Structure 1
Amino acid sequence: MSRSAWAGLITVFLVAATVRIGWVVARHGRDPDTLSYPDEYAYRLAGRSLAAGGGLIDEFGYRATYMPGYPAFIAVFERLHLPLMATRLTQAVLGALVAPATFLLARAGGGHPRPPDRMGGGHPCPPLTAPSFRGCVALFAGLAAALDPFLVFFSGLLLTETLFAVVLVASWWLVLLLVDRNRPASLPVSFGVGLLLVICVMLRPASTIMIAIAPAMVLVYRGFARPAWWSAGVIVAVAIVGLFPWAARNANLLGEWRWTTTRGGISLYDAMHPGATGGSSLAATKTDAGAAGLSELEWDRYWHDRAMTAVRADPGRVVTLAARKLLRTWNLIPNEENSRRGAPAIVSAAWMIAALATAAVGWWQVRRAVRWWTVLLVPVASFTLLHMVFVGSVRYRIPVMPMMFVLSAAGVCQLLRGRAAGRSTTTAPVDGSTLGGRST
């Protein structure tokens, strides 16, 4: 990278780290031990269990209801007897890495086809490969990730969103490099994709779908050539090897190979039970008489069977719930009752409207760079569809927003360029730019 690119990379990280540290101190400084959400209690309990040497155990005594990644992160601080504020601040700094990761994700568009020749108003549109355009997009995308109110808010909570967003964006940056035919199908990059996807799954089991999607995209976009098969094979092999110890541990403890968790059943029930609204409501399941005394595998099957019973009883309701979950995931304001009014709602709505509007402008400008934007948006589409089956929440869009910010940044850079062109010229040029040896 050039010196200016390194400067941009460091700048967006420093901005992100400063904002997050400031937020954590302001939000949690007076009472750092207070937890706000049920999942925070669950993760801290699992982390304490690991730190004490008892293994990964939840409130029911089950041993595979959570992936070990985030509890292991918490366990480090519990083992060292560090205050909870140290955990929050460390996570905030690590979470700031999402900004430089987004910066690199935006720069990865350099090897892909260019956008349309002309933007609104007749002004020539720069190629996606133009260094000045890529630099502008990378900087604005990185700053958007640095300042995103949701990413900042979650940086101090004991939840997986912050670390998962960093790893997911970093993995997808490498995927974008792999599908670029102007670059060699690098095996080290393929190894990096596989490793980062393992970490994604260790933090959030829903990302297992990306282990199938990433190699499939490499194969498709590289025309199923032999190097593509090697790259895809490395990704899958690394993922299998990385998850094998966890699956073997579960086989030893539970008597069944589980590559992720035993929460699939209750998660599906949460999304499909007769009283489901699209959000999560698991309080009643803790006192359900039918689940009492079940082994962990029986417990998982029990909730899975109840979920499928509800689906079969009213299949049409599944479609209605899917629409509600979609709206919840992409709601302009938080779904939580206490945050649906006042400053949180105003900030959320303003930010999301601006982000989505500029993303639409950005997509229009780069719409002919199909290879680039389809790969870029695969995580957005995948997790959106996934949470049209399982419960929908603003939480679940947060890790994929950096992909949207890349398009938003493209829109902002085009709008800024249009204004500059409008001030400097009164007549649009009749010829376009040249890319790849072809005149336009």
Structure 2
Amino acid sequence: MAVYVQRQLDRQPERTYVIEGDADGYWKLAQSLIHGEPYSIYTPPRRVLRMPGFPFFLAGAMSVVGEDHFRVRLILALSGAVACFVVYLLGKELVNETIGLIAAALTAVSPVMAGFSVLFLSETLFAVTMLISLWVLVKLSKVQFRVEDQFQGRLWSVLAGISLAVAFYVRPSWLLMLPLVVFILILSAKEHRTAALTRGLLIIVGFTVMLVPWVYRNYQVTGHFVPTTLWAGPSLYDGLNPRATGDSDMTFFDQENVLNSMSEYEMNQHYTKRAVEYARQHPGHVFELMGAKLVRYWKPWPNATQFKSFWVMAAVSVLFIPVVFFAGYGAWVSRDQYLLLLITVGPIVYFSLIHLIFVSSLRYRLPAEYSLYILSAVGFYQMCFSSRQGKELNPE
């Protein structure tokens, strides 16, 4: 796939990237890190435009293979292979090795996952870090609330906070998982609420310690507390404005050019307020947009015009539709296994809800599909093998 993508771009001298805007920004930020320049792009400088996780990863690849697009794509392809392996680990931990292998095989043959893995976009790296954080949370959930297991429980709690933060450094929308995880942990503990509260606090501590360098750096360059980025406001307005359709159209940002008269922080606040005000005044349009965004998120084929060839749409749909079907069956046969459902269905529902507000597309669903494939593997096994063998597939 790396060879194919690079050859296609080499035949089009006017194009450098498959998805220009975001990819170019990530590449330039990585170059600034490699050359020891300030972490910013554009004029006026945008210092808190992107989380640093993916640019740091790109910079690491550049430091090994140089600033060559094709060679860096090969490193990115390796991250896609790692994603398949982590799906295997998570499936094995949630159910057993058979399910882990089936789920990994499904991800390995997914044309969308293979394609995105070699683009200069954060989706695949985020999937890897998200899956690792989910694996750590599953390991934590299996540690009993016994005195002899206190150290192990506290260690996994800190690691859970750290792993959540690592994923957050790649995709800031993962931030809301922190309070959700702590809430679910305490709620499910029942008679061990005090011990669960301790673990929840340690998760928060692990996450916070990891977050300190980014927050401190942002305060140094903006004079404000900024835990994520200063692109959330324009992104929110992109999804909630008079011309919004559910698709991304950032032309308003260049046309209005508010950065000529505002700081980056003020610009972010400005667009956030405008988006919230528009939503208050036009609730009907907001609900209409939510429906459009929901359709865009769950559509089996790509929304972008450049990918709307018959063969691309068929290649994407021919795997995703059966995956959803098997996932539905897997959810039914596993309806009493709450941890499995939470880990496999939770992420894709989580991002679906977030993108009812922001713009939506297949691209934002993709990282969450990795864990859903585990549930698809359960459904596939139960439908195709367990009935023949006369036994159910139970967790080891």
TM-score over 0.5 for the pair: yes
Q: Out of 173, 178, 184, which is 2:140 matched to?
A: 178
Aligned residues of 1:174 and 1:193 also touching (Cα < 8 A): yes
Q: Deviations over 1:71-128 (max 9, x none)?
A: 1222334456441222211111022111121112112224xxxxxxxxxxxxxxxxxx
Q: Out of 59, 66, 90, which is 1:105 matched to?
A: 90
CA–CA distance in structure 2, aligned partners of residues 199 and 177 of structure 1: 17
Structure 1 residue 259: Cα displacement: 0.7
Q: Out of 296, 315, 325, which is 1:357 matched to?
A: 325
CA–CA distance in structure 1, aligned partners of residues 137 and 93 of structure 2: 9
CA–CA distance in structure 2, aligned partners of residues 434 and 326 of structure 1: 34
Q: Which residue of 2 aligns with 1:168?
A: 130
Structure 1 residue 182: Cα displacement: 5.5
Residue 323 (structure 1) aligned with residue 285 (structure 2)? no
CA–CA distance in structure 1, aligned partners of residues 137 and 38 of structure 2: 34
| 1:7-406 correspondence to structure 2 within 5 Å | 23-29=1-7, 31=9, 34-37=16-19, 38-60=21-43, 61-78=45-62, 81-110=66-95, 134-180=96-142, 184=149, 186-223=153-190, 224-406=192-374
> Mean Cα displacement is larger for which, 49-58 or 25-34?
25-34
Aligned residues of 1:215 and 1:232 also touching (Cα < 8 A): yes
Q: Deviations over 1:178-226 (max 9, x none)?
A: 2236685622222222111111111111111112222222222222533
Q: Which of structure 1's runs of 4+ aligned residues deviate more than 4 A?
A: 29-33, 77-80, 181-185, 432-436
Structure 1 residue 348: Cα displacement: 1.3
Is there any run of 5+ residues in structure 2 with no aligned partner, and where?
Answer: none
2:361 aligned partner, one-letter code? S
Aligned residues of 2:165 and 2:210 also touching (Cα < 8 A): yes
Is there any run of 5+ residues in structure 1 with no aligned partner, and where?
Answer: 1-22, 111-133, 422-427
CA–CA distance in structure 2, aligned partners of residues 69 and 255 of structure 1: 22
Q: Which has the larger share of helix?
A: 2
> Mean Cα displacement is larger for which, 186-195 or 353-362?
186-195
CA–CA distance in structure 2, aligned partners of residues 433 and 396 of structure 1: 31
Structure 1 residue 378: Cα displacement: 2.0
Structure 1 residue 311: Cα displacement: 1.3
Aligned residues of 2:258 and 2:267 also touching (Cα < 8 A): no
CA–CA distance in structure 1, aligned partners of residues 245 and 27 of structure 2: 28
Aligned residues of 1:179 and 1:222 also touching (Cα < 8 A): no
CA–CA distance in structure 1, aligned partners of residues 394 and 244 of structure 2: 55
CA–CA distance in structure 2, aligned partners of residues 289 and 28 of structure 1: 34
SS at structure 2 position matched to 1:140:
helix
Q: Structure with the greater relative contact order (CA < 8 A, sep ≥ 6): 1 or 2?
A: 1
Change (3 A) 1:356 1:293: same
CA–CA distance in structure 2, aligned partners of residues 366 and 100 of structure 1: 23
Structure 1 residue 135: Cα displacement: 2.8
TM-score between both structures, scaled by the size of structure 2: 0.90
Structure 1 residue 48: Cα displacement: 1.8
Pairs aligned (count): 383
Structure 1 residue 268: Cα displacement: 0.6
Residue 414 (structure 1) aligned with residue 382 (structure 2)? yes
TM-score between both structures, scaled by the size of structure 1: 0.81
SS at structure 2 position matched to 1:58:
coil
CA–CA distance in structure 2, aligned partners of residues 83 and 435 of structure 1: 45
Structure 1 residue 386: Cα displacement: 0.6
RMSD: 2.4
CA–CA distance in structure 2, aligned partners of residues 394 and 433 of structure 1: 31
Aligned residues of 1:77 and 1:83 also touching (Cα < 8 A): no
CA–CA distance in structure 1, aligned partners of residues 204 and 303 of structure 2: 37
CA–CA distance in structure 1, aligned partners of residues 371 and 257 of structure 2: 44
Structure 1 residue 29: Cα displacement: 4.7
SS at structure 2 position matched to 1:55:
coil
SS at structure 2 position matched to 1:57:
coil
CA–CA distance in structure 2, aligned partners of residues 298 and 406 of structure 1: 43
CA–CA distance in structure 1, aligned partners of residues 394 and 368 of structure 2: 33
Aligned residues of 2:382 and 2:393 also touching (Cα < 8 A): no
Aligned residues of 1:175 and 1:218 also touching (Cα < 8 A): no
CA–CA distance in structure 2, aligned partners of residues 147 and 218 of structure 1: 35
